[in-house]
Amino acid sequence: MKKIEKLCEDAREASRQLADMPAADKNHALREIAAALERRSDEILRENRDDIRDGKKAKLSSAIMDRLLFDEDRIADMARALRKIAALPDPVGEVVDGWRLPNGLEIRKVRVPFGVIAVIYEARPNVTVDAAGLGLKTGNAVILRGGSASLHSIRMLTEVINGALIDAGLPSKAVQLVESRDRAPLKQLLNMKEYVDLVIPRGGEALKEFLLKNSTIPVIYAAGGNCHVYVDAGADIDMAVEIAVNAKVQRPGVCNAAETLLVHRQIAPDYLPRVVKELLDRKVKLYACPRTLEIVGGGTSGVKEATDEHFATEFLDLEMAVRVVDDIEAAIDHIARFGTGHSEAIVTNDLASSRRFTAVVDAACVYVNASTRFTDGGEFGMGAEIGISTQKLHARGPLGLRELTSVKYVVSGDGQVRN
């Protein structure tokens, strides 16, 4: 307990130095870290080999092993990402709003760092560098708690970062690691609300449930994405085929990929045979409602009957549910019932449908005539991203640099008192 508390206190202390630090100094430090990663890549790769060896022993899945593995290219990627963050504008100090009161008081609402951010992540060791970079850029001290499978790599990366911070004249406690293979220190960390302002998880549902139960510090949650493409009555069929296919197959394993295709009954007879063929050609398994089956034929290979279970599932794979709906309201109701508030798309040529869909569908990103796959900090032009928020408090959608800041009111007067 003492150890974690000391670590948090040190982070708070470092955050006070970072709060007022000019962007030039922070950017210099980021470039120093990038250079140190490249310079010390041998050490990083050596430690990484220990994780790989342990992972093989523990028989981790090939997907996890792939995330664990570093090579020169991946290290170069991390360095490049840091230099990119360094080149972005500093959100700290941005005047978000400002006005003058009748009594002459001048109010400015100014962007400031949170203070201390804890990032809890799982297998990907490169999050270490990402989180440190985004945290430092936004003037926050960062406490890292990574997955135990990558502990050797993470420890080495933190050492490299700390060395570079010292070289750049920044407090080394600005980036600290909670080293542990069990969850007791994590539980302690999640109760340090005196020192830690925000927790950002990067992991699955199990981690989320753990934080919901154990964190007294505010958390920004990123739920999964059960995303839909709804094809409206008068949609352009070519466009609707292209968008549905792209939203499903361009990268099926990510949260902004579509999981269910909803089709207006009027367009279904023309649209469904074409889109089903395209999806089957790309090895997508389909779960179809009875009306869909009627149109495409019940015995089609690769097409099974859909259940509510399918509509509720985030497949994250080459699988998709398909349902014919009576009208846009039925599509909206389906999305309200099964959606997770991530990304939802309508393909339509009707202005009223477009207005209705964007007004009523409750999601972080609502698309008209575009693929759900664009929900991404990079694609949105934010330059960097630490995740995608599906909660409504503080930040919704891609979390860029601004979303890692809070605000403060600075009020200037010449002796005003209240009557």
**Interface positions with a second copy (CB under 8 A):** 16, 19-20, 99, 101, 105, 107, 112, 114-115, 193, 197-198, 212-213, 216, 218, 220, 236, 239, 242-243, 246-247, 250, 336, 354, 356, 358-360, 362-371, 373-375, 379-381, 391-394, 396-397, 406-419
> In whole angstroms, how close is the CB of 64 to a second copy at the nearest point?
26
* CB within 8 Å of 385: residues ≥ 6 apart: 376, 377, 378, 398, 399, 400
> In whole angstroms, how close is the CB of 36 to a second copy at the nearest point?
29
Kindly report the backbone phi and psi dihedral angles of residue 321, in degrees, each rounded to the nearest multiple of 5, phi listed first: -95, 150
> In whole angstroms, how close is the CB of 79 to a second copy at the nearest point?
25
Radius of gyration of the chain (CA): 24
Packing angle of the helix pair 127-137, 23-39 (nearest 10 deg)? 160
Closer to a second copy at the Cβ: 4 or 332?
Answer: 332
Closer to a second copy at the Cβ: 93 or 273?
Answer: 93
Burial class (CB in 10 A: 0-12, 13-18, 19+), 147: buried
Closer to a second copy at the Cβ: 4 or 196?
Answer: 196
8-state DSSP, 313: -
Burial class (CB in 10 A: 0-12, 13-18, 19+), 217: buried
> In whole angstroms, how close is the CB of 107 to a second copy at the nearest point?
7
Q: How far is CA 327 from CA 74, 168, 202, 264, in A?
A: 48, 60, 37, 6
CA–CA dist 158, 161 (Å, integer): 5
> In whole angstroms, how close is the CB of 272 to a second copy at the nearest point?
19
Closer to a second copy at the Cβ: 147 or 400?
Answer: 400
CA–CA dist 324, 7 (Å, integer): 55
β-partners of residue 119 are 144, 200
β-partners of residue 198 are 117
Closer to a second copy at the Cβ: 3 or 16?
Answer: 16
Kindly report the backbone phi and psi dihedral angles of residue 286, in degrees, each rounded to the nearest multiple of 5, phi listed first: -115, 145
> In whole angstroms, how close is the CB of 221 to a second copy at the nearest point?
8
Nearest to 153 by CA among 182, 178, 126: 126
Closer to a second copy at the Cβ: 132 or 190?
Answer: 190
Closer to a second copy at the Cβ: 18 or 81?
Answer: 18
> In whole angstroms, how close is the CB of 327 to a second copy at the nearest point?
16
